């Protein structure tokens, strides 16, 4: 697996530091007037790419929280570019109503904006108290830079990346760093 890596774009230490900072910012934005123990949030991670990011983020957030997952497919199989977002209903666990809930959508990467837009639309119909979004990575491309997002861990060049939850054909998610692959790996 290591032989497939072209270069490390963001190392694990930088990721850990930024996740810690983001968690603090999210907690502060929920309302500095309330005691931390009284604050509550519902996280909606987009499966499967966000799972490692979410697991690290929630351990830095001293809040009451619920997790309601959504499964959205936009990079099927060996795709290295988004093929359009579609919800996988069988894996999506959203209640019919989210009234009085502060919702945070969490995704791994923002490139076209389609996944985040679809998730926002589905959740907004459930009348949340507030709705914010957080992405680990935002590609430096016009669609991504113009998309509405509240928290961004890192802006990256418009390159295909793997690691820290991101995959190619369901592999490489377990890499602790965010990396680019050698081109011959995904052009085989």
What sign has the CA pseudo-torsion 87, 84, 75, 127? Answer: negative
Has 111 been annotated as catalytic?
yes
Give the C-alpha separation, 178 to 173, whole Å: 9
Residue 71 has what pLDDT? 83
Instruction: List the catalytic residue out of 56, 107, 111, 177.
Output: 111
* Domains of the chain from N-terminus onward: 12-160 (3.40.50.2020)
pTM, to two decimals: 0.85
Q: 10-residue block means of pLDDT along the chain (188 residues)?
A: 93 98 92 61 91 96 90 61 54 70 94 90 90 97 94 96 94 96 84
Give the Å distances, CA to CA, from 57 to 15, 51, 153, 158.
11, 10, 11, 24
What is the side-by-side order of every strand in the sheet holding 161-162?
5-10, 178-181, 161-162
Residue 186 has what pLDDT? 78
- 188, 169 contact by CB (below 8 A): no
Residue 37 has what pLDDT? 57
Based on its alpha-carbon atoms, the radius of gyration of the chain, rounded to whole angstroms, reads 16
């Amino acid at each position: 697996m290591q032989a497939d890596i072209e270069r490390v774009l963001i190392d694990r230490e930088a990721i850990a530091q930024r996740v810690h900072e983001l968690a603090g910012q999210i907690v502060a934005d929920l309302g500095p007037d309330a005691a931390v123990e009284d604050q509550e949030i519902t996280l909606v991670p987009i499966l499967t790419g966000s799972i490692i990011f979410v697991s690290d983020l929630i351990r830095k957030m001293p809040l009451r929280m619920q997790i309601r997952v959504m499964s959205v497919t936009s990079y099927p199989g060996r795709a290295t570019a988004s093929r359009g977002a579609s919800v996988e209903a069988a894996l999506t666990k959203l209640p019919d109503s989210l009234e009085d809930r502060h919702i945070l959508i969490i995704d791994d990467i923002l490139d076209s904006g389609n996944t985040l837009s679809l998730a926002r639309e589905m959740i907004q119909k459930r009348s949340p108290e507030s709705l914010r979004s957080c992405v680990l990575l935002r590609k430096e491309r016009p669609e991504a830079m113009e998309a509405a997002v509240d928290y961004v861990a890192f802006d990256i060049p418009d390159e295909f990346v793997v690691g820290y939850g991101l995959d190619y054909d369901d592999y490489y998610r377990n890499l602790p760093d965010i990396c680019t692959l050698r081109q011959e790996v995904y052009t085989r």
